[in-house]
């Protein structure tokens, strides 16, 4: 066989290996023999073998302490929880358990969000209702929690930036 054929076969094998193990995972394991990652949110004890696992955990489990679900009257739910875990339970039992969908597919139940202004600060733009369709109810519920997480993170970031400006 010609050299280019061997090169092609060898590069194909390497691509298949990289696809299965992931070059980032392999690199992090070489650089860090203990690749365990820890969630850094409010003393959470969750660990993962990858940074992506931590990100997915945070999007699904850490929703903040105020519920931003938009109600039929156009206002936010506003439920205030003592912990992320308490808000997670509220979000699942009040907003996601009552949708009555038959599927698959299942539609994300996020009703959208209103434009919001941080007191004495910038605003967060409105978000339309989500129309994402997923094959499992659990996936649709997780997707809805990601919307709540995104708003919570934005509020946290803006509030922290404003506090930093006040302190300077």
The verdict on residue 26 lying in a domain is no
Look at residue 16 in the predicted model and tell me its pLDDT.
39
Look at residue 29 in the predicted model and tell me its pLDDT.
43
Closest Cα to residue 149, out of 119, 122, 120, 113? 113
Look at residue 33 in the predicted model and tell me its pLDDT.
53
Look at residue 80 in the predicted model and tell me its pLDDT.
92
The verdict on residue 48 lying in a domain is no
The verdict on residue 150 lying in a domain is yes
Closest Cα to residue 95, out of 79, 114, 118, 115? 79
Q: What is the mean pLDDT of residues 56-71?
A: 87
Residue 25 has pLDDT above 70, yes or no: no
Residue 30 has pLDDT above 80, yes or no: no
Look at residue 17 in the predicted model and tell me its pLDDT.
35
pLDDT digits (tens, 9 = 90+) for 106-152: 888 889 888 877 666 677 888 899 989 989 888 888 899 999 888 88
Please tell me the number of Cα atoms within 13 Å of 103 on its side-chain side: 16
The verdict on residue 103 lying in a domain is yes
Look at residue 52 in the predicted model and tell me its pLDDT.
85
The verdict on residue 41 lying in a domain is no
- What sign results for the dihedral spanned by CA atoms 142, 147, 149, 150? positive
Distance in angstroms (rounded) separating the CA atoms of residues 60 and 79 = 18
Please tell me the number of Cα atoms within 13 Å of 108 on its side-chain side: 18
Residue 2 has pLDDT above 60, yes or no: no
CA distances in angstroms from 20 to 15, 17, 65, 165, listed in the order given: 9, 5, 38, 46
The verdict on residue 153 lying in a domain is yes
The verdict on residue 86 lying in a domain is yes
Residues of the domain holding 126: 63-167
Share of the chain above pLDDT 90, in %: 9
Distance in angstroms (rounded) separating the CA atoms of residues 112 and 70 = 7
The verdict on residue 142 lying in a domain is yes
| Least confident range of 16-20, 25-29, 65-69, 89-93 | 16-20
Provide the number of structural domains found in the chain.
1
């Amino acid at each position: 066989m010609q050299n280019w054929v061997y090169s092609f076969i060898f590069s194909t094998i390497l691509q298949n290996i990289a696809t299965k193990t992931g070059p980032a995972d392999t690199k992090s394991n070489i650089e860090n023999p203990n690749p365990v990652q820890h969630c850094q949110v409010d003393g959470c004890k969750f660990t993962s073998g990858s940074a992506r696992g931590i990100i997915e955990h945070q999007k699904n489990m850490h929703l903040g302490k105020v519920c931003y679900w938009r109600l039929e009257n156009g206002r936010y739910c506003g439920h205030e929880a003592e912990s992320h875990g308490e808000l997670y339970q509220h979000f699942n039992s009040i907003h996601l358990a009552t949708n009555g969908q038959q599927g698959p597919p299942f539609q994300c139940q996020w009703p959208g969000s209103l434009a919001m202004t941080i007191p004495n600060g910038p605003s967060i733009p409105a978000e339309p209702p989500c129309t994402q369709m997923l094959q499992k109810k659990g996936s649709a519920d997780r997707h809805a929690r990601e919307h709540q997480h995104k708003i919570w993170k934005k509020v946290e970031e803006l509030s922290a930036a404003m506090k930093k400006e006040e302190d300077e």
